[in-house]
Structure 1
Amino acid sequence: MTDLPVTSLTRVRRLPQYQVTDRAALYDILDGSLAATLAIVRDDRPIALPVGIGRDGDDVLIHGSTGSDFFRRIAAGAPVCLTVTHLLGLKYARSLFDSSMRYRCAVVHGVASVVPPEEKEAALLALSEHLMPGRAQEVRAMTGRELAATLVLRLPLTEASVKDNADSEVEEDGDGEDRGVWAGELPLRVTAGEPITSPQTAAGTPVPASIRRNQTATSGGTA
C-alpha cells in the first residue's frame, strides 16, 4: 500500500505536523463515515452539498439524480473537492484563542467518472451495503426505471490529504496560563437511537435484523 503523495493541493499548511500520509488512515476515515461534503465551482461560484458515500477499493462511490445539474456537471468533468470530518471533541484551553477541536479529516481532490450502466447496480449495492448493511436482502430489487434515474460516480483516491490531531495536547507546560482555570476536553460522539417505525408499516412488523445490527454498530461512533 503506497503512501499518499503530498502535492500542492494536498499539502497541509496549517499545523503540518498533523498531516498523515498513510493511505490506511484515509481508508479508515472514509469507511467510518456515511456522508461527506462535495464541492465544485459552478458559474464562477463555489457550491457544496452533502452526499452519502461508500468506498470501493481506491475509489469513493457517490450517487445522485440524473436530473441534478450539480451531478451532471461533475459527470461532465468538473473538478471536485470531497471532505469528510470526524469531530472527536472540543478542547477547552485556558483562553478562547487556544481552545480548539480534536478531529480527523480527509480531503479528496479529483475528477469523477460515471459508472457505466452495466456496473451501476453493483456499485449502488456496494454503496447501500456501506450505508445500510444487509438492507438490500430485505427489500425488493431496484427497478430499471430507478437505475435509469440514478447517476453513480467514482472519485479516485489518487490525490488526497489526511489531517489527524486526535492526540494533540490541550495545553503546554510553562505557557504562563492560570492553572486555577479549568482546562480539558469534552469528548463528542454520534450514537444511534431506537428505530422509529413508519406509521404506514403493518402493525406487529418487527424491526429487521439489519437495522438492529446497524444500530449496534453505529452506537458510540464518531461523525
Structure 2
Amino acid sequence: MQALKQFLAENGDELLLKTWEHLYISLIAVLLGILVAIPLGILLSRTPKAAGLVMGVVGVVQTFPSLAILAFFIPILGVGTGPAIVALFLYSVLPILRNTYTGIRGVNQGLLEAGRGMGMNGWQRIRYVEVPLAMPIIMAGIRLSTVYLIGWATLASFIGAGGLGDFIFNGLNLFRTDYIVAGAVPVTLLALITDFFLGLLEKWVTPKGIRDSKEAVV
C-alpha cells in the first residue's frame, strides 16, 4: 500500500495523462470505425454478392498482427498518434461491419413491406425501420470493438503514440512491477467502464418495444 501511494505521488499526473491518451486513441479509432462500417454494412446488405468479398478482405486484415499493422504505417504516416489511430481503426471495422450487415439482413421482411405500403422511400425505411430494429446487434458490435481496441491500444506506445502501454513496457524493461500494474489495471478498468456506458447507450438508442420484448424474454 505504501508503494502504491509513493508511485501515485511520483507519477499521478503522468498516469492521468497516459489514461487520457489511451482513451483518446481508442475512442477516435472506434468513432472512425462506426462512421465507415455502419454505412458500409447497410450498403452491403443491398448487395449480398459483394458482401462476401468485402467481409473476406476485412477479415484477412483483421488477422494481421497488431505490431505488423503499426509497423506498416510508419513509413507512410511516421510515428505518433496518427498511425496508431489508423491501425486501430482497421481493427475496429470488422465487428461493427459484420454486426451491421447481419442486423440489417435479419430485419423482418414483412415490416419492410409495411413501411413500403405506408409510402416510405428507401432512405426512410433504413432510418425508421431497419436501423432501429438492428440497433441491438449493431451496438453489440460497437461494444465488442471498443473493448478490443482499448486492450490493443497498449501496443501504440511502440510507435510513440503514448497511452498506458508506456507504463507497461517501461515496467517490463526496468523490471518494475508497479509500472506494469499502473498500466494494466487502468486499461482493464477503462474497458469495463466503457462497456458499461455503451450498454446504457444501447438501451437508450434501442426502440422501447424491442427493449421491452428482450427484457420479457430474459
TM-score (norm. length: structure 1) = 0.26
Greater fraction of residues in helix: 2
Greater fraction of residues in strand: 1
TM-score (norm. length: structure 2) = 0.26
